[in-house]
Copies of this chain bind each other. A is one copy, B any other.
Amino acid sequence: MNTNKNISNQSASKIKKFRRELPSTENLTNGILSGNKTALSRAITLIESTNSTHTKQANEIIERCLLHKTNSIRIGITGVPGVGKSTFIERFGKKLTAQGNKVAVLAVDPTSTVTKGSILGDKTRMEELVKDENAFIRPSPSGSSLGGVARKTRETIVLCEAAGYNVILIETVGVGQSETAVHSMVDFFLLLKLAGAGDELQGIKRGIMEMADAIVINKSDGDNVQRAKKARVEFTRALHLLKTQDNGWVPKVLACSALEDIGITDVWETITNYVAINTKNNFFIQKRQEQNKYWLLQTIEDQLKQQFYSNKSVKAELQVAIDAVINNKTSPFTAADKLLNLHSK
C-alpha cells in the first residue's frame, strides 16, 4: 500500500511537472505523431500563444508535422445561429467515429473574444462527442482579427492530421467574413439551413450559397418535413442558376434531422462521393495546393496592410484623408498616394 502510494505520488508529481514545464519540440512532435491528445492540445496552445518563443516552437512542430503525409477530409460547416450546428456535428461526428474514423472538431469564430466563445465554447452541447476517445474538440482560438484566428486554425489542422485525425470538421457562424476563410481551408463546404420560417426565401448571406458544395436542410422533422421538401426544391433550382463549379460538381441539396438522426448518413455519402470523384480527376489535390498558395499570398497581403495601418504617420493622417475623400475635397487616388508616401518615408 505504502509503496503503491509512493508510486502514485511519484506519478502525480511527474504529471504535474509535465504540465508545469514546457515539453521539448521533440517530445511534443512525437506525442502528436503517436496520437497523444495532451501533446496535441499543448502544441495547439503554443500556436495560439502570442509569446515569440512559443511561436518559434510551434512553427518547428508544424514544419515537422507537415512532413507527415495523411489521408484526411477537411469539411467546413456553416449556418446561422439556431440552425442546429452543434447537434448536427455531435450526431455526424458520432456516426463517423462509430465507423472507425478519428474526428477533430475545430472552429473559426473571430467574435469569440467578445462573446466568450459563441460556438464550441460550450462543449456540453456535444456531450457524447466530448467523451469519445476518437474525437478531439477544440474551441475557436481567440484573437481580434479574422486573419489571426484563421491562421491558428489552419495550423491546428496540420497538427490534428499528424495526430491521426482523418476527418476534420471546421465549424463557423454564417454571419461574417469567416466563411471565406473556412472555405479556403477545407475540401468540402457544407451550408446548414432551416426550412420554414421563410428562411429559404431570405437571409442567405451573399456569396455563401455559391461557396457551398452541399446545402443541408436541418430540422427536417415533425411539421417541418413538408417545408424541408419544398426548401430542397427551391434551393436546387437556385443552385442551377449559379455557374457550375470548376470541377463540374453540382452542389447537392439534402434534408436531415440531427435530432431524430435522419439523413445524416446521406450527408457523409455525398461527401465521400465528392472526395472519390475529385481524387480521381486530381481536383482534390489541386485544390489543396491552390489553398496553400492562397494562404501564402493572403498572409503576405494581410501583413502588408497591417504594417501600413499601424504606421504612426499613417495613423495620424488616415482619418483626415478619409474625410477629405468622402467630402470630395480630394480624389481617392491623390489621397492614397500621399498616405503611401508617408508610409515609405
If A200-B241, A201-B240, A202-B241 are given as contacts, then 6 extra A-B residue pairs at C-beta distance below 8 Å, sorted by A number, are: A62-B331, A67-B328, A204-B241, A206-B243, A235-B241, A237-B237
Task: Give the total of A residues in contact with B, Cβ under 8 Å.
Answer: 61
Q: Does A266 count as interface, using CB distance less than 8 angstroms?
A: no
Question: Is chain A's binding surface mostly helix, strand, loop or mixed?
Answer: helix
A334 within 8 A of B: yes
B204 & A243 in contact (Cβ 8 Å cutoff): yes
CB-CB under 8 A from A336, the residues of chain B are 295-296, 299-300, 303
Name 18 interchain pairs, CB-CB below 8 A, sorted by A.
Answer: A62-B331, A67-B328, A154-B332, A200-B241, A202-B241, A204-B241, A206-B210, A207-B207, A235-B241, A292-B332, A293-B326, A296-B321, A296-B322, A299-B333, A300-B308, A301-B304, A304-B340, A307-B344
Within the complex, the shortest CB–CB distance from A74 to chain B, in Å, comes to 14
Report the minimal beta-carbon distance from A343 to chain B, rounded to whole angstroms. 8
Chain B neighbourhood of A305, CB < 8 A: 301, 304
Closest Cβ–Cβ distance, residue A242 to chain B (whole Å): 6
- A244 part of interface (Cβ distance < 8 Å): yes
Expressed in whole angstroms, the Cα–Cα distance for A301 and B204 within the complex equals 29
Q: Are B303 and A340 in contact (CB-based, < 8 A)?
A: yes
A258 to B114, CA, bound (A): 54
Please give the count of copies of this chain that the complex contains: 2
A residues 299-345 with Cβ under 8 Å of B? Answer: 299-301, 303-305, 307-308, 321-322, 325-337, 339-340, 344
Q: Does A59 lie at the interface of the complex (its beta carbon under 8 Å from any beta carbon of B)? A: yes
A63 to B337, CA, bound (A): 14
CB-based closest 8 A-B pairs: A295-B332, A299-B336, A296-B332, A304-B304, A289-B326, A238-B241, A292-B325, A206-B210
Closest Cβ of chain B to A244, distance in Å, is 7
Q: With A296-B322, A336-B299 given, is the CB distance from A330 to B242 under 8 Å?
A: no
Verify if A234 is at the interface (C-beta below 8 Å from B).
yes
Judge whether A167 is part of the interface by a CB distance below 8 angstroms. Answer: no
A332 — which chain B residues lie within 8 A by C-beta? 154, 292-296, 299
Question: Is A82 located at the chain interface by the 8 A CB criterion?
Answer: no
Asked whether A205 is an interface residue with its Cβ less than 8 Å from the other chain, the reply is yes
List the B residue with the shortest CB-CB distance to A286: B326
User: Quick check: is A203 within 8 A (CB to CB) of the other chain?
Assistant: yes
Inter-chain CA distance A173–B149, complex, in Å, is: 37
A155 contacts partner chain B, Cβ-Cβ < 8 Å: yes
Counting CB contacts under 8 A, is A12 at the interface? Answer: no
Contacts of A63 in B (CB 8 A): 330-331, 334
Bound together, the chains give a CA A170 to CA B115 distance in angstroms of 44
Most chain B CB neighbours (cut-off 10 Å) among A294, A328, A329: A328
* Structural contact, B322 and A293, CB atoms closer than 8 A: yes
Interface set, chain A 12-46, CB cutoff 8 A to B:
none
Known: A66-B331, A243-B205, A300-B308. A292 touches B326 (CB 8 A): yes
Flag whether A262 is at the interface (Cβ < 8 A). no
Are A242 and B331 interface neighbours, CB within 8 A? no
Determine if A275 is an interface residue (Cβ-Cβ < 8 Å). no
Bound CA–CA A205/B245 (angstroms): 11
